[in-house]
Chains A and B, each alone.
Chain A
Amino acid sequence: MAELLRIEHLSRAFGGLRAVQDVSLAVRPGTLTALIGPNGAGKTTLFALMSGFLKPDAGRVVFAGADITGRAPQLNARAGLTRTFQIVQPFAAQTVRENIAVGAHLHEPRRAAALAAAERVAERVGLAAQLDKPAGDLTVAGRKRLELARALATRPKLLLLDEVLAGLNPQEVAEMIPVVRSLVAPGPGTAAGSTTVLMIEHVMQAVMNLAEHVWVLAQGQLIAEGTPQAITNDARVIEAYLGHGTATRLRGVAA
């Protein structure tokens, strides 16, 4: 099987707004890839379509060889496709340990084992010191880590990370980048390439550093794809971010 996730001609509209239009892409197992685009491009909608939170108007989602179009999120999580949320969604009244244990329970019926697994995951993402804090008391950076930890505890094959670096200061971003890279890279006790990551990200420093392949979404359509270097030099991408005509002007300045 060459691809872990494949989406084919996916479209979704909200009333007159066509949030995602005819998007197709494929994610190979063991890779770390990124989905970028200006605000309102439809990135989060695309994630919601992939993970089952929204049903597409047209198109197909194929995960690990099975058609999962419109299948409920909890069934996708069980199959190994887990997403995080851009706006973090902690179970605020519960401790960090209990939060992560909810994810761990997916494959671990016993409470003690789930709590122990939560501890191990917390160590991986750097939350070990905060295990007994209520999730509501965490800083933004802590909540982002928790969001990641809870998803990671479900032992996903494919992790959809929705802006886990947004809202962090440069220091915190620098701390998070190795954490994200370690998800895909072989680590102690995990097989090489056990997790595949597709991330939505605005922090270009992270995208350049982490992603081997990038898709660019603008106004609901895929406008470019390639390596991070190729993408940043792509005229369509520059125009999508900075406005019509800027690519030529920038090139004129450089010449």
Chain B
Amino acid sequence: MNNMKRDVFQIAAFTAAVMALTAMLSSSVWLTFIMLALYGALLAQAWNILGGYGGQFSFGHALFFGVGAYAQVIAQVTHGINAWVALALSIAAAALVGLGTGALTFRYGLKGSYFALVTLAFAEVFRIGAVSVGFTGGGVGMMLPLSESVANLQFGSRKGYIALMLAFVAAAALVTAWLRHSRFGAGLMAVRDNEDAASAVGVDPQRAKRGAITLSAAFMGAAGAFYVQVFQYIDPAIAFGPHVSVEALVAAIVGGMGTLWGPVLGAVALHTLADLTRNLFGQLPGLNMVIYGGVLVLIVMFMPRGLAGLLTTMQPARTPPGRASSPSDAAPARGAESDRG
């Protein structure tokens, strides 16, 4: 259990550091940056649980985000449920939808690009559904009335939201640490690396993947509920559109899939990059996105194991040091990565 203790210690240190930093800051620009970076880290860590540790690359994680967001606002506005209770309901609703989609897609053996496409399609179905049915407010979306109080889960200061978000990021990191040092996680990673070999030694691949997508969806649901509490508005495009799905998976891939800190690193790096390009090239609309995209391409090309792969020495490199950067080695290394899909 030493490794587990080390991970828990790191998570505790990270949490304490962010809390200390937040306590010292008063600039709302920086506090907003921390809040959004943590929000990105939660999305990425949620995706990482299924994508990084389960090897199932979802392109439609907004599905679970949207379910959480809508559950949060519908519970409060339509049914008058307390915001904290609504939060629990949102997480449960997202987890349930995760379990349902997982049971369906994994039952029929969808993997790799097929799984990615089906998750994308599920999110689109929900987006169109949210436009069409009445209880979501249709295409107009839904507003959460502003009423700042802790009981309403609406804070006067960014610091309240940061504390809430930090709790979720820490919880997601703890779940990830548990995956790294538990029987369930060992089975999940075995399924990721080789499904046949895993089932030959007694791992039930469907059960492992269903568990992973349920956990992953629960954290996406929490992020959706958080979004509603902060921005007090949700519509079908925000909830189920591709933006959230892409944000979750890009941060996880850039940071390093299948690592504990990769998603956090990726989210912080991407938010820094996005803010920088927006501030530097904001007067030329669109240029910031061009640079943002270019940097992403470079990261994926030259750091197939992500930022965490550069920093960590805990995971042994697949190619000997000094050879990894030569073009002839880069291609097979990327091939090996994509084999996980």
Contacts and interface: CB of A to CB of B under 8 A. Distances in A.
A and B interact physically: yes
B200 A151 contact: yes
A231 B318 CA distance: 45
B316 A150 contact: no
A85 B190 contact: no
B197 A91 contact: yes
Interface residues of A, number: 38
B316 A134 contact: yes
B183 A109 contact: yes
Contacts of B248: none
Contacts of A110: 183
A200 to B, nearest CB: 15
A84 interface: yes
A192 interface: no
A82 B201 contact: yes
B202 A74 contact: yes
Contacts of B203: 74, 102, 105
B198 interface: yes
Contacts of B181: 111
Contacts of B1: 111-112
B24 interface: no
Contact of B201 (A72, A77, A111): A77
B200 to A, nearest CB: 5
A85 to B, nearest CB: 7
Leading 10 A-B pairs by shortest Cβ distance: A77-B202, A91-B193, A89-B197, A106-B202, A103-B201, A73-B199, A102-B190, A105-B183, A74-B199, A74-B204
16 contacts: A72-B204, A73-B196, A74-B202, A77-B200, A85-B196, A85-B200, A91-B190, A92-B336, A93-B189, A106-B202, A111-B181, A112-B1, A114-B183, A133-B316, A150-B201, A154-B201
Given A90-B197, A106-B201, A108-B183, 17 more contacts: A77-B201, A77-B202, A83-B200, A84-B200, A89-B200, A90-B194, A92-B193, A93-B315, A93-B340, A105-B186, A105-B187, A105-B202, A105-B203, A106-B202, A137-B316, A150-B197, A154-B201
